[in-house]
Amino acid sequence: MDERLTRRARVHAALGEPARLAIVDRLVPGDASPGELAQELGIATNLLAHHVRVLQDAGLVRRVPSEGDRRRSYVQLRMEDPLVRAAIAPAATDSVGGRRVVFVCTHNSARSQLAAASWARLSPVPVACAGTHPAARVHPGAVAAGRRHGLRLGRARTAHVDQVLAPADLVVAVCDNAHEELDAGLSRLHWSIPDPVRVGTDEAFDAAYDEITRRIHILTDAPPRPAPVLEVN
The answer to whether residue 149 is domain-embedded is yes
Contact 147, 206 (CB under 8 A): no
Rounded Cα gap, residues 156 and 57, in angstroms:
42
The answer to whether residue 96 is domain-embedded is no
Rounded Cα gap, residues 102 and 114, in angstroms:
12
Asked whether residue 114 falls in the same domain as residue 149, the answer is yes
Nearest in space to 31 (alpha carbons), one of 79, 87, 81: 79
Asked whether residue 109 falls in the same domain as residue 65, the answer is no
Asked whether residue 157 falls in the same domain as residue 222, the answer is yes
The answer to whether residue 94 is domain-embedded is no
**pLDDT tens digit sequence for 39-87:** 999 999 999 999 999 999 999 999 999 999 989 999 999 998 988 988 8
The answer to whether residue 92 is domain-embedded is no
Domain containing residue 212: CATH number: 3.40.50.2300
Last residue of a domain, one of 87, 112, 146: 87
Asked whether residue 61 falls in the same domain as residue 105, the answer is no
pTM for this entry: 0.88
How distant is the alpha carbon of residue 212 from its chain centre?
Answer: 6
Rounded Cα gap, residues 191 and 168, in angstroms:
20
- Asked if residue 146 has pLDDT above 90, the reply is yes
pLDDT for 90 equals 56
Sequence-ordered strand ranges (E) for 66-220: 73-77, 101-105, 127-131, 151-152, 170-173, 188-190
The residue segments making up the domain with residue 227 are 101-231
Rounded Cα gap, residues 63 and 73, in angstroms:
6
Cβ burial, residue 221 (10 Å; 0-12/13-18/19+): exposed
Asked whether residue 122 falls in the same domain as residue 182, the answer is yes
pLDDT for 219 equals 87
What band does 118 get if pLDDT is binned at 50, 70 and 90?
very high
Q: Is 83 helix (H, G, I), strand (E, B) or coil?
A: helix
